[in-house]
Amino acid sequence: MAMLEVENVHAYYGKIHALKDISLNIDKGEIVTLIGANGAGKSSTLKTMSGLLRPRQGSVRLEGEDLTALRAHEIVTRGVIQVPEGRRIFGQLTVMENLDMGAFTCRDKQQIKTNIDKVFILFPRLQERRRQVAGTLSGGEQQMLAMGRALMANPQVLLLDEPSMGLAPVLVDSIFDTIRRLHKEGTTILLVEQNARMALQVASRGYVIQTGVVVLSDSAENLQKNEMVRKAYMGEN
């Protein structure tokens, strides 16, 4: 049984048919990447998994439990946690207050302390800036904070939406190093990323989505060799 499974999902924004019979799955401890152009339906797929977009048809299941009818906050309590595109931190709050917001479903004070320690080990910069107002952080630091906030919720599945967007190359490398480290520690990850080359280097499998339809799925190794993927998403002629 897959850890997280999306089966035959159709989702709409009003009359716009955003997702058309989408199916994909993620096994426990796996990194799977979803690649595609702007507007292809990548973020809509994540929103459907996390309950922000309700499918009209199809289902989303976590270890066999149907999440489709649950509200977003109920899905968070099940352990499906999204790091949204554009970070979406609470800019007027401090770094520590943002991390505390990520732990709002946890009632175990010792677990919260353990999670904070883990976040600070992963992101020492956040510990240095724990009292700083989050909106004054650099873009890379805000991405670290968005990921750290998600980790405070004890994710069973971590949904990462464009974590490298707008970052300098050296910071992109740092973020992907963190993704590798989380994977090594056993975190299950679905990675949405326009940087297909980097995404396929950390993932074990991938899906290619175009205009709301999954058009290709294969191992990351095979996708890196695929001519269509290389031309369309890696900028090769």
Mean pLDDT of 199-226: 95
Q: Is the pLDDT of residue 237 over 80?
A: no
Mean of the per-residue pLDDT values of the chain? 91
Cβ–Cβ < 8 Å for 58, 48: no
Q: How many whole angstroms separate alpha carbon 48 and alpha carbon 19?
A: 9
Q: For the residues of 84-100, what is the DSSP string, one character each?
A: -TT----TTSBHHHHHH
Q: How many whole angstroms separate alpha carbon 98 and alpha carbon 92?
A: 9
pLDDT in tens, 69-103: 999 999 999 999 999 887 888 888 999 999 999 88
Q: How many whole angstroms separate alpha carbon 189 and alpha carbon 31?
A: 5
Mean pLDDT of 107-114: 85
Cβ–Cβ < 8 Å for 160, 46: no
Residue 212 pLDDT: 95
Q: For the residues of 136-150, what is the DSSP string, one character each?
A: GS-HHHHHHHHHHHH
Percentage, residues of the chain above pLDDT 70: 99
Q: Is the pLDDT of residue 222 over 70?
A: yes
Mean pLDDT of 1-18: 93
| pTM exceeding the 0.75 threshold for the entire prediction | yes
CATH 3.40.50.300 correct for 27-52+78-233: yes
CA-based max dimension of the chain: 54
Percentage, residues of the chain above pLDDT 90: 69
Each domain of the chain, given as residue ranges in start order, spans: 27-52+78-233
Binned at pLDDT 50, 70 and 90, residue 173 comes out as confident
Mean pLDDT of 15-31: 95
Binned at pLDDT 50, 70 and 90, residue 62 comes out as very high
Binned at pLDDT 50, 70 and 90, residue 166 comes out as confident
What residues contact 65, with CB distance under 8 A and at least 6 apart? 78
Q: 73 in helix, strand or coil?
A: helix
Q: Is the pLDDT of residue 208 over 90?
A: yes
Alpha helices in the chain (DSSP H): 42-49, 72-78, 95-102, 109-122, 124-128, 139-151, 169-184, 196-202, 220-225, 227-233
Residue 160 pLDDT: 94
Plot region of 208 (φ>0 → left; ψ -120 to 50 → alpha; else → beta): beta
